[in-house]
Amino acid sequence: MTSLRADVYVAPPIPWTRPNGQKGGLWSPISCTLIHGQDEAVLVDTPITTSQTEALISWIKSVIPRKKLTAIYITHGHGDHFFGIPLLLKAFPGCKALATAATLEHMEEQIRPDVFEGMWGGRFSGEIPRPFELAQALPAGNEIFLEGNVLRAVEVGQADTHDSTVLWVPAIKLAVCGDVVYGDVHQMLGECDTKAKRGAWIAAIRKVQDLRPEIVVAGHKKTSEIDGAFHLENSIRYIESFEEFLEGGAKDPRDLSRKMLERFPTRFNEGTLAIGSMNAFKSSKLTTKL
């Protein structure tokens, strides 16, 4: 018997701003998973902004008031899953941020001035904790130990971005999936702008299925959602539907988005879908020219 258990915090959607200063919509909710035993805990992923992270810190202290947070694991290199690191390290002395070597390389790219300002700085001006703190690379084996239990970083490759990972906790059959798996939120297909990349994302989800998890935490999900293995097939179906409509005669990005919304009417964040649709059509036109 293991003493491990897990709790999930979902940072609520927050507004982001367009380069022209106008409102751009809401960012998808972000899940942060706290895995803990009798005395110690590991957190998986952080939100984006100072206010989001301060709320997460308050939540952690309420959930494990007498336990020590020893590590923060980052599933992939997108900034909306690691920008909260500096505030967390300050709030929990002795804690370490950890990631695979490939994720660390992606994180370094995300804070490069041109990338940061183009993607994050303008959308959340003055809201992201500075100075940045990145993770340490995990040692060979990609394992974290929590009170004698192994937490294993499983590298699955392409998901909504490259070099994605899942944190697998075999003692409780828990897979904390970052953006490999989504809940009832539109999946970010903006970087998966080719059929090959979308196929690779499906293959990544299949790797999670091979672990036979009983608990699956999606990286973006609604607060009300149960963390079940059904998210795996649902995420695959979403990508397959996108491919079906793209190849089946969608006239333009708007038509593709419309078809997806008809099939997935409850998913949150239509803006994410719009970006994926536009990028898919741009990519297909470039491929045709080549």
Tens-place pLDDT, residues 89-108? 999 999 999 999 999 999 99
d(CA 216, CA 227): 5
Q: Give per-residue pLDDT as tens, 131-170.
A: 999 999 998 899 999 999 999 999 999 999 999 999 999 9
Closest CA to 146 of 224, 68, 82, 256: 68
Confidence of residue 200 (pLDDT cuts 50, 70, 90): very high
Site of tokens 């309420």: 62
**Arithmetic mean of pLDDT, 29-49:** 98
pLDDT at 207: 98
Closest CA to 104 of 155, 62, 163: 163
Answer yes or no: is pLDDT of 286 > 80: no
pLDDT at 285: 66
Answer yes or no: is pLDDT of 288 > 50: no
The Cα-based distances of 50 to 82, 113, 251, 254, 260 in angstroms read 12, 19, 42, 35, 34
pLDDT at 51: 98
pLDDT at 142: 97
Instruction: State the amino acid at position 205 in one-letter form.
Output: I
Answer yes or no: is pLDDT of 6 > 70: yes
**Arithmetic mean of pLDDT, 260-283:** 96
pLDDT at 140: 86
pLDDT at 261: 98
Answer yes or no: is pLDDT of 247 > 50: yes
Please tell me whether residue 214 adopts helix, strand or coil conformation. coil
pLDDT at 2: 82
Structure tokens at 32: 């942060």
pLDDT at 206: 98
**Arithmetic mean of pLDDT, 260-270:** 98
**Higher confidence at residue 157 or residue 2?**
157
Confidence of residue 226 (pLDDT cuts 50, 70, 90): very high
Confidence of residue 289 (pLDDT cuts 50, 70, 90): very low
